[in-house]
Every structure is written in structure tokens, then in C-alpha cells.
């Protein structure tokens, strides 16, 4: 009977990887998915693999990623901020995880949640609003299903709302007006604000938000 890995309760966190060295060990389709996500977030990506799938080869040819065309060996993670073990060989993935831990580098092992310091959530963006769903890797399919449903509920107007709130916060800060977190919660009449933004009434939405905040003074 196959032993079931004990899956930890992961701490939800957002990492700034912009400009940081992130190493992906592996050159196949799984590695490609990891590489694309890292690139979307501004990482400096290095791939370690003796062979690459066509899409990774294209990224390498365009100098979008750097590549060590060889089998993984200890030392390949030197200076990395995070490491991802994405080969089809469990032994190699284990070696990557072991080195990462020795060097205190955060590591994700694609075939072992128990060996991973972090896992990637299923997520989508609306401007600066990011909504992520995780099942602690118990059912990635369920996470994707929930994400697809939420994508229908959270349209582009939520990007506008996030931008609008930042604009109002900046204006209030310039006027030395302090608003507590609880007051922000009370002032954010989501149904009304979202509807106004959906029909293009941004200035009215802004006036509504400011008016709501004013009544809470």
C-alpha cells in the first residue's frame, strides 16, 4: 500500500522575486510552466538541464533565461533565492532539495509536497489585486476549478477599484487624514462601488467612497 505523505499547513505569503536568481532544475513541460510563472514575476531564471523542450529552447535563444546545459550537480544552486526541482527523476529532485536546505534556499519539489518549502497556488490577477487558491497540493484540479469560477465573479472593475482605493489613500495621506482599517472596511460598499465602475462612473465611485469615509469621522 502506498504511503500517504503528510502534507503541512502552508503559510500564505507573497514573495518579491523581481531581479532575483531563481533556479529551475529540469527541461521539460513541467519545468516550462514553472519558468513561465517565474518570468511573469520578474525573476532572473536559470535552468539546469542537459536537454530542453522546444519552448525552453526558444526562451534560451532569446536570452530570456540562462541555461546550464548539463546534469544537475551540487553547487548549481549557489546564490539562488529559490530553487525548483522539476525533473522526472525523484532522486535528482531529492538532491536538489537537500542542497537547497543546506544553503537555506527556499525549494519547491514538483513530485513531493513534503519536500517542498513552498508550493505555487492557482491564481489570477485583476490589476494589483491577486486572488490565489490553494488546496495544499491535495487537489490542484479543484484549485483550478475554483479559480475559474472566481474569475467569472471578479471582472476588470476590481482592478479599477484597487487603483481607485490607492488614489484615495494617497490623497488622504497628503491631507494628513488617518483612516483606520475598520473604517476602510465600513466605507467600502463593494456592491455599489463595483457597479459604478462597471458602468464607467469612476468619478462617482470616488466621490461615493470619499463620502462614506467622511461620514465615519
Domain check: are 148 and 168 in the same one?
no
- Confidence category of residue 8, pLDDT binned at 50, 70, 90: low
Q: Dump pLDDT digits (tens) for 17-35.
A: 999 999 999 999 999 999 9
| Domain assignment present for 8 | no
Percentage above 70 pLDDT, the chain: 96
Q: Which domain covers residue 178, as residue numbers?
A: 157-215
Task: Give the chain's mean pLDDT.
Answer: 94
What order do you get walking across the sheet with 82-85 strand by strand? 66-68, 44-48, 21-25, 82-85, 106-109
**Structural contact between residues 130 and 122, judged by C-beta atoms closer than 8 angstroms:** no
Are 25 and 116 in a shared domain? yes
Please state the domain count of the chain. 3
Same domain, 25 and 114: yes
Closest CA relative to residue 183, chosen from 215, 147, 135: 215
- Are residues 130 and 149 located together in one domain of the fold? yes
Tens digit of each residue's pLDDT (9 = 90 or more) over 162-192? 999 999 999 999 999 999 999 999 999 999 9
- Residue 12 inside a domain? The answer is no
Phi then psi dihedrals of residue 103, to 5 deg:
-95, 5
The alpha-carbon radius of gyration of the chain (Å, integer) is 22
- Asked whether residue 141 is assigned to any structural domain, the reply reads yes
Contact 144, 152 (CB under 8 A): no
Is residue 56 within 8 Å of residue 27, measured between CB atoms?
yes
Pair (89, 149) in one structural domain: no
Question: Is position 15 within any domain?
Answer: no
Question: Residue 25 has what pLDDT?
Answer: 99
Mean pLDDT of all residues in 188-209 = 97
Amino acid at each position: 500500500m502506498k504511503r500517504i505523505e503528510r502534507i503541512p499547513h502552508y503559510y500564505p505569503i507573497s514573495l518579491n522575486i523581481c531581479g532575483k536568481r531563481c533556479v529551475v532544475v529540469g527541461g521539460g513541460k513541467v519545468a516550462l510552466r514553472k519558468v513561465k510563472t517565474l518570468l511573469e514575476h520578474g525573476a532572473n531564471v536559470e535552468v539546469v538541464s542537459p536537454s530542453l523542450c522546444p519552448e525552453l529552447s526558444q526562451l534560451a535563444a532569446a536570452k530570456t533565461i540562462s541555461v546550464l546545459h548539463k546534469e544537475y550537480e551540487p553547487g548549481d544552486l549557489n546564490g539562488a533565492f529559490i530553487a525548483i526541482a522539476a525533473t522526472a527523476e525523484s532522486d535528482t529532485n531529492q538532491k536538489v532539495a537537500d542542497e537547497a536546505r543546506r544553503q537555506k534556499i527556499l525549494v519547491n519539489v514538483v513530485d513531493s509536497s513534503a519536500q517542498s518549502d513552498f508550493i505555487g497556488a492557482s491564481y489570477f490577477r485583476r490589476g494589483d489585486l491577486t486572488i490565489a487558491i490553494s488546496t495544499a497540493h491535495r487537489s490542484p484540479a479543484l484549485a483550478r476549478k475554483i479559480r475559474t469560477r472566481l474569475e467569472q465573479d471578479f471582472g476588470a472593475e476590481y482592478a479599477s477599484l484597487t487603483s481607485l482605493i490607492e488614489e484615495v489613500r494617497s490623497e488622504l495621506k497628503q491631507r494628513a487624514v488617518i483612516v483606520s482599517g475598520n473604517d476602510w472596511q465600513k466605507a467600502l460598499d463593494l456592491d455599489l462601488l463595483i457597479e459604478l465602475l462597471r458602468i464607467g462612473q469612476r468619478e462617482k465611485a470616488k466621490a461615493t467612497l470619499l463620502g462614506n469615509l467622511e461620514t465615519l469621522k
